[in-house]
C-alpha cells in the first residue's frame, strides 16, 4: 500500500493559488533538468487561458486535510478531439507514493470525459520512471511524424499515445 494515510484527492484547477502551484511544480523540475521554453512559460503562466478555456483541464493532487498540492497534470485540447497529456509533476517529498499513477489514471478518465479520440504525450528518456509509468498506463511509443501537432518541445525525445 503506497499510502500511509488517505490517498491524495485529485480535482480540477479552481483558483489562482491552484494556478500558482501548477506553475511552481513544473518550473522546478523543468528548470532542474532542462531549459524552460517559451511555450512552457506561456502555458504555465496562464493555465486558465491556455489550457482550461480552450477545452482542456489541469488536475491537481491534494493531500487530504491540508489541501496542499503535491502533484499535477494537464490535458491540452487540440483540434479533432486530440488531447495532450502534459506538465505532469509530483513534489519530490511525495514521490514514490503512487501519486503519478493516480494522476495519469485521472487524466485518462478526464480526457475520455472531454471526448478525446486520441491522447498523446512527449517525454524524455532521462525521465525513466515517467516513461515506465506511461507504458504501464497503456501508452505506446510513436514516431515524430505521428504527432498531431507541428512544433513540439525540443526536450521530447520519446513520443507516445494511448494504445
- Smallest Cα–Cα separation from 144: which of 163, 127, 159? 159
What gap in Å lies between CA 130 and CA 121, rounded to an integer? 11
What gap in Å lies between CA 153 and CA 163, rounded to an integer? 22
Q: pLDDT tens digit string along 114-158?
A: 999 999 999 999 999 999 999 999 999 999 888 887 777 878 899
Cα maximum dimension of the chain:
45
The set of cell numbers assigned to 156 is 521530447
pTM of the shown model: 0.93
Task: Write down the pLDDT at residue 3.
Answer: 47
Contact yes or no for 101/132 (Cβ under 8 A): no
Q: Does residue 4 surpass a pLDDT of 70?
A: no
Q: Which domains does the chain have, with CATH numbers?
A: 9-115 (3.40.630.30)
What gap in Å lies between CA 98 and CA 54, rounded to an integer? 29
Amino acid at each position: 500500500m503506497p499510502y500511509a494515510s488517505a490517498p491524495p484527492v485529485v480535482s480540477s484547477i479552481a483558483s489562482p493559488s491552484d494556478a500558482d502551484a501548477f506553475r511552481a511544480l513544473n518550473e522546478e523540475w523543468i528548470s532542474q533538468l532542462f531549459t524552460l521554453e517559451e511555450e512552457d512559460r506561456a502555458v504555465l503562466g496562464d493555465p486558465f487561458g491556455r489550457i482550461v478555456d480552450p477545452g482542456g483541464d489541469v488536475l491537481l493532487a491534494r493531500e487530504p486535510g491540508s489541501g496542499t498540492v503535491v502533484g499535477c497534470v494537464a490535458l491540452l485540447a487540440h483540434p479533432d478531439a486530440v488531447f495532450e497529456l502534459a506538465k505532469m509533476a509530483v513534489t519530490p517529498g511525495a514521490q514514490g507514493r503512487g501519486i503519478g499513477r493516480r494522476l495519469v489514471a485521472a487524466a485518462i478518465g478526464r480526457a475520455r470525459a472531454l471526448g478525446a479520440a486520441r491522447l498523446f504525450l512527449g517525454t524524455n528518456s532521462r525521465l525513466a520512471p515517467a516513461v515506465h509509468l506511461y507504458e504501464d498506463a497503456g501508452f505506446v511509443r510513436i514516431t515524430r511524424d505521428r504527432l498531431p501537432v507541428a512544433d513540439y518541445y525540443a526536450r521530447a525525445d520519446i513520443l507516445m499515445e494511448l494504445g
